[in-house]
A and B are shown apart, each in its own frame.
Chain A
C-alpha cells in the first residue's frame, strides 16, 4: 500500500513568491528563516499526529504574516530612499539658491532675490539635515520633515507666483512636489510602524 507523503510544499512556494519583494541582500536569509520555521512546525505537527485541516489553516495564516514582514523591509528601504532623495534635493535647492544669492543678491543687489535665496539656502540645509536625521533615526525627525516639507512648498510656490516669478514650472514641481511627496510618504511609513 502506498502512503501519500504530505509536505509543506505549498507554504514554501508562497514564501518563495513573497520573498521576491525583498531587497536582494536580505532575501536568502529571510527565506531560510521562514522555511525553517514552517518545516519545523510541519514536522512537529506530523510527529504529534496533529496534521489536520485546522492546523494546516493555522499554518497558512502564519504564512500570510510573511507579507507584513516583507513590508517592514520595504519600510526600511523607503526610509533610505527618502533620505537619499532629501540629500539630492538639498544639493539642488541649496546650490540653486546660492547661485541666485551671489548673482541676484550680491552682484545686482536685488533685496527680494537676496532674501528669497537665503530662504532657499535655509531650506536646502533643512533637506540635508532631515536626510541625515532619517538615516541616523533622530528623535526629532518628524518635526524636521514637517518643517522642511512645509517650508519647501511655501518657498517654491511663492517663488513661482507673480509679481516676482523667480522660477518656472519645473523647479516648482520638483521643490513643492517633492516636499509634498516627502510628507505623505513619511507619514504613511510612520503609520505602518508596529513597535515604536
Chain B
C-alpha cells in the first residue's frame, strides 16, 4: 500500500503508543477530519486494528470506554518502509540542495 505522509504520521504515533483518535491528533497535529478517515482506511487495509477498551478500566477512571487502535504486523512493516522512504527523500533533498541558495521572498 502506498502510504501518504499523514498515513505514515498516524502509524508512527501508534507505534509510540498513542492509541486513541484524539491522542493521535494531539501528537501529530493533524485535524480530526484527516485522522479518523485515515484510521478507517488503514484498518481496512489491515495495517491497524481497533478494539474497545475494558469497560471496568474505563469505569474506574470515571469515563466511558474508548476505542483504541493498534498496529498490526503488516502495519509495522509498512511503517518501516515509509520511514526508510522519507529518510531517503531527506537525504536526496539535502544532496540536491548543496550549493543551491534559497530564493528571496
Residues of A within 8 A of B (CB): 29, 32-33, 35-37, 39-41, 43, 61-69, 71-73, 193-196
Contacts and interface: CB of A to CB of B under 8 A. Distances in A.
User: What class of interface size applies to chain B in its complex with A?
Assistant: 20 to 34
Contact of A195 (B22, B37, B62): B37
B67 A36 contact: yes
Contacts of B7: 195
Nearest to B50: A33
A36 B65 CA distance: 6
Nearest to B3: A195
Tell me if B's interface is mostly helix, strand, loop or mixed. helix
A179 B75 CA distance: 37
Given A195-B6, A196-B2, A39 B64 contact: yes
Interface of B: 1-4, 6-7, 20-22, 25, 31-38, 40-42, 62-67
Listed residue (B4, B7, B21) with the most chain A CB atoms within 10 angstroms of its CB: B21
A73 B43 CA distance: 13
Nearest to A67: B33
A88 B1 CA distance: 30
